[in-house]
Amino acid sequence: MAVGSPHGFRNAFRVAVLGATTAIALVAGLCAYALYESHKRYCENAEHVALSLSQSLETFLVSHFQSIDLALQSAGREFTRLHAQGRFSEAEFSRYLISLRERLPFAVSVRGADHEGMVVYGEQIDRARLVSQHDREFFQRARDTGKLTFGVPVISRLTGEELFPIVMPLRNPDGSFAGTANVNTSTRRMQEVFSSVRLGEHGNVSLLDRDRRLLVRYPRLEKVRIGTVVPASSATSEAAFSGGAKLAVFSSRNRLDNFQRINVLRRVGDYPIFVIVGLAEEDFLAPWRTEVLVVSVVFSVFCLLTLMFCFNIRRRWRAEVALQAMHASRAVHENLRTLLAAIPDSIFEVGRHGQEIALANERAVNILPPDIDPQGKHLKDLLSPEAMKVVLAAIDQASVRGVPVSTQIMVPHKDGPHWYELSIASKDRDNANSRLIVVSRDITERKQVQAQIEQLAFSDLLTMLPNRRLFMDRLRQSMASSQRSGCHGAVLFLDLDHFKTVNDTLGHQYGDELLVQVASRLRHIVREEDTVARLGGDEFVVILEQLSASHEEASSQAMVVGEKIVSKLAGDYDLRGRHYTNTVSVGVTLFLGHELTVEDLLKRADTSMYQAKNAGRNDVRFFDPATQASIEQRSALEAELRHAAVHQEFVLHYQPQLDAQGHCVGAEALIRWHHPKRGIVPPMEFIPVAEESGLILLIGHWVIAEACRRLQAWATDPTLSQLKIAVNVSARQFAHPNFVREVEDLIAYFNANPERLVIEVTESMLVSGEDCVIARMNELRDMGIGFALDDFGTGYSSLAYLKRMPLSEIKIDRSFTDDILTDPYDSAICNAILAISRTMDLRVVAEGIETLEQWNSLRDAGCHFAQGYYFARPMPEADFVAWLMMRNARTDHP
């Protein structure tokens, strides 16, 4: 980061402050350490000086006291000797004492006293005016101890001078006390000696005796009397006084002059006298104090310079910050201006009541007419009362809650209504008169898209009709409206007939096209206010509203619409160039208010639609509870059938097919359902359900597989190997794109002979895509598989189909066989079929032969093959084989 940036400066300032603080602390530490060391040195030095001075003084004093001691000892000896020799005279002894004084430079006088203390010996003794020292403490102590005594200085009664007496007791030759000899030293002279020592201005020297009585002090303190007991200043000094130590160094503060001193106490030789040299800190630390002062000044200057340095950086940083803030503020302002200009929304300010509009960006206020300058105007003069109400409510909320509030308003424009989303925020929440910022966005397009999305959500995308969701909603509304008005409504449920076949055979795009066309027609059939919806697949519903209050009338009104729908939707459609004929089944149910739920209503309409389907399709049916029950039954059957398909509850029964000579040439495989509860269920009860539900694909596959398995099993048995098996295939199964592949795979898998397999087809298969069906038949025929046309004569029986389909045989339907003996028409039809098949070289199998007469009649007419109860009913495979064995064993078979 550049130092020139505010960040850079701020960091530099921080570093400087840190560095300065560290430097100051370091220098302070160094100074303190230096001063401490210096202080220690000065103290040690002072101690050395004091030691040395005390040493000198001790030397001096020892010498002085020894001189006096020796002089006094010799005076004592002279006194005793003179008395012993009988030569003693006061004059003689006085002269001797005077002679001693000359040997003692510091002695002021040498005198003597008799045993009563009268000073009678020494110089200048005036017998007329003798003084006594009997009351003096030093006299008494010398007398009592008999030893050399150092007295407390006293004022001389002879000279008036302060004298320090050192006293020796005098003894008679018999040893008795005879008086004292005194050497008196002038305290003044001693002070002069002490003053010669370099003690400094506030240093001192004191002389104390063993009892800590002050004997001499320099300098003299008026407040302190000579002879005062000086308190022990320290343990070391106390030890010295009590006789242990000869030397003590201690520091103490003198309570009288209040000076702190380093003291050295020494005992003067072996005498009970102590000299104390005290050097005052005031003196010996004076240079140190100067040093402290100098160091302090230097340190202060250093600190000052350092702080100035830091402040300089700080000042520069602040200046830089201010400069950059100014630049930033300018940039922000510029950005904001650009931003506001770039925002497609209108941004403006208003007062709490919508007054004094002020533009924030250069855009016109989009909610206002473009030809009006809104600056300074009031919103209420420019907006509709409804929009104003919405805006004021949002302003109030934004002001009270202090958070931006969004709202939407609609403003009429020349090109239609425009929608605006307003986001309103108070500039200063706490201020009741605060103005508000309004951001206004044109959301018309969004609204339109939203509407489209909603429409898509509620529409069926193929037909653009309302979807199931919207239908349910509309139905609820219709029921509510019916509840209010007392009028009936109706739900019509439509299902296109055979729509699945269109999808399966033509393809989904054709199916879709059909649905679109049906939807279009349907919309035109009903009134504008009625609802047409697609529920899904080919199911449509119509809600009819405002029918009669009378049930009968409403029924006939609904019936009219239902029939109109059936007739208008039925008929021809052009599906992308392909022609298709459509029919529709319609179920109708009425409703009045909320008697039934929406779901129940729909169920009823659906049920009645199935009723219409069951009645042959292309019809209208009203809801009937019996139909409902049968539909429920059917749906239960479907569920069971699904279970059966998965759990293989099916079995094939075989009905023999015989030739004119009565030989069995094959069998028709007919499915049976081994229902776990109902026993054997015939195909007519479940095949239609299987076809509608699509389960026929699964079941049909199983049938062909089972037939192939049988062919494979029979192939090795000479009795059975020549037999053909005919299987029934439903139109839906055959139309499945994989059908051919599946058959091929099954034949290959079971290694079945395809020439032994016959597929029974019906004419109805061709309805939904003749070309495709025929192409598939050809593919299968090419594999060797034969085709029988089942139920011939019951349908269209188009001869053109016969020509195009690769058939190997035709089956005459049971309905013709039944009455061949009694009904000349049926007989004629049978003859015609036989004639055609002869022409086209097709085998003919007569179905449903129940009597010998029927068979004889048909055989005589040229029919080659027969099948029917007369010969045998459909039976399980084992029974069939047994039947065949038995029949082959007989020679009298028909």
Ligand X SMILES: Nc1nc2c(ncn2[C@@H]2O[C@H](COP(=O)(O)O[C@H]3[C@@H](O)[C@H](n4cnc5c(=O)[nH]c(N)nc54)O[C@@H]3COP(=O)(O)O)[C@@H](O)[C@H]2O)c(=O)[nH]1
Q: How wide is the angle at C-alpha 132 spanned by C-alphas 129 and 134, nearest 5°?
A: 170
Q: Please state the closest distance from residue 707 (CB atom) to ligand X, in A.
A: 9
Burial letters 609-643, b for 16+ CB under 10 A, else e: bbbbbeeebbbbbbbeeebbeebeebeebbebbee
Q: Please state the closest distance from residue 737 (CB atom) to ligand X, in A.
A: 18
- Span from 195-203, 365-373, 545-553, 666-674 in contact with ligand X (CB under 6 A): 666-674
Contact between 777 and ligand X per CB under 6 A: no
* DSSP track, 622-641: E--HHHHHHHHHHHHHHHHH
Q: Please state the closest distance from residue 803 (CB atom) to ligand X, in A.
A: 22
Residue 554's alpha-carbon distances to 219, 352, 471, 607, 609, in angstroms, are 145, 59, 21, 19, 18
Tell me the C-alpha distance between 832 and 237, whole Å: 165
- Span from 94-102, 611-619, 681-689, 828-836 in contact with ligand X (CB under 6 A): 681-689
Q: Please state the closest distance from residue 550 (CB atom) to ligand X, in A.
A: 47
Tell me which residue of 347, 409, 357, 349 sits closest to 378, measured CA to CA: 357
Nearer to ligand X, 494 or 658 (CB): 658
Contact between 706 and ligand X per CB under 6 A: no
The 3-state secondary structure of 251-285, one letter per residue: EEECCCCCCEEEEEEEECCCCCEEEEEEEEHHHHC
Nearer to ligand X, 134 or 814 (CB): 814
Tell me the C-alpha distance between 697 and 310, whole Å: 96
354: helix, coil or strand?
coil
102: helix, coil or strand?
coil
Nearer to ligand X, 545 or 813 (CB): 813
Nearer to ligand X, 727 or 802 (CB): 727
Contact between 687 and ligand X per CB under 6 A: yes
Residue pair 368/351 in contact (Cβ under 8 Å)? The answer is no
Tell me the C-alpha distance between 473 and 489, whole Å: 15
Q: Please state the closest distance from residue 850 (CB atom) to ligand X, in A.
A: 4
Question: E strand or H helix at 44, and its extent?
Answer: helix 6-85
Tell me the C-alpha distance between 214 and 230, whole Å: 7
Tell me the C-alpha distance between 337 and 340, whole Å: 5
Find the binder of ligand X among 874, 877, 880, 884 (CB under 6 A).
Answer: 874
Contact between 395 and ligand X per CB under 6 A: no
431: helix, coil or strand?
coil
For ligand X, the binding residues in 356-385 under the rule CB under 6 A are none
- Going by their DSSP bridges, the two strands 162-171 and 177-186 should be labelled as antiparallel
Nearer to ligand X, 496 or 687 (CB): 687
- Going by their DSSP bridges, the two strands 346-350 and 436-442 should be labelled as antiparallel
Token couple for 864: 């080659």
Q: Please state the closest distance from residue 508 (CB atom) to ligand X, in A.
A: 24
Tell me which residue of 167, 159, 125 sits closest to 142, measured CA to CA: 167
Contact between 682 and ligand X per CB under 6 A: yes
Nearer to ligand X, 518 or 671 (CB): 671
Find tokens 């350092």 and name the residue: 306
Contact between 877 and ligand X per CB under 6 A: no
Contact between 826 and ligand X per CB under 6 A: no
Find the binder of ligand X among 185, 346, 655, 768 (CB under 6 A).
Answer: 655
Count of alpha carbons within 13 Å of 823, Cβ hemisphere only?
10
Q: Please state the closest distance from residue 830 (CB atom) to ligand X, in A.
A: 15
Nearer to ligand X, 587 or 793 (CB): 793
Q: Please state the closest distance from residue 731 (CB atom) to ligand X, in A.
A: 9
Find the binder of ligand X among 1, 626, 684, 878 (CB under 6 A).
Answer: 684
Find the binder of ligand X among 670, 807, 820, 842 (CB under 6 A).
Answer: 670
Q: Please state the closest distance from residue 722 (CB atom) to ligand X, in A.
A: 21
Site map (CB under 6 A) of ligand X, residues 713-732, x = contact: ---------------xxx--
Nearer to ligand X, 46 or 697 (CB): 697
Give backbone dihedrals phi and psi of 815, rounded to 5 degrees, phi first: -60, -30
Q: Please state the closest distance from residue 732 (CB atom) to ligand X, in A.
A: 9
Residue pair 184/164 in contact (Cβ under 8 Å)? The answer is yes
Q: What is the CA radius of gyration of the chain?
A: 73
Q: Name the burial class of residue 656, with classes exposed (0-12), middle (13-18) and buried (19+) by CB atoms within 10 angstroms of its CB.
A: buried
Q: Please state the closest distance from residue 610 (CB atom) to ligand X, in A.
A: 22
- Span from 466-474, 750-758, 779-787, 843-851 in contact with ligand X (CB under 6 A): 843-851
Q: Please state the closest distance from residue 641 (CB atom) to ligand X, in A.
A: 13
For ligand X, the binding residues in 781-820 under the rule CB under 6 A are 790-791, 814
Find the binder of ligand X among 8, 173, 351, 683 (CB under 6 A).
Answer: 683
- Going by their DSSP bridges, the two strands 724-728 and 757-761 should be labelled as parallel
Which DSSP category does 162 fall into? E
> How many residues at the interface with ligand X, by CB under 6 A?
23
Token couple for 785: 């598989």
Token couple for 395: 């302003």
Q: Please state the closest distance from residue 730 (CB atom) to ligand X, in A.
A: 4
Contact between 743 and ligand X per CB under 6 A: no
- Span from 37-45, 225-233, 634-642, 667-675 in contact with ligand X (CB under 6 A): 667-675
Nearer to ligand X, 347 or 844 (CB): 844
Contact between 869 and ligand X per CB under 6 A: yes
Find the binder of ligand X among 382, 671, 866, 881 (CB under 6 A).
Answer: 671
Contact between 262 and ligand X per CB under 6 A: no
Question: E strand or H helix at 26, and its extent?
Answer: helix 6-85
Token couple for 447: 């609204």
Contact between 848 and ligand X per CB under 6 A: yes
Find the binder of ligand X among 847, 857, 863, 877 (CB under 6 A).
Answer: 847
Contact between 668 and ligand X per CB under 6 A: yes
Token couple for 505: 């055979």
Which residues here bind ligand X, judged by CB under 6 A?
A: 655, 668, 670-671, 682-684, 687, 703, 728-730, 790-791, 814, 847-850, 867-869, 874
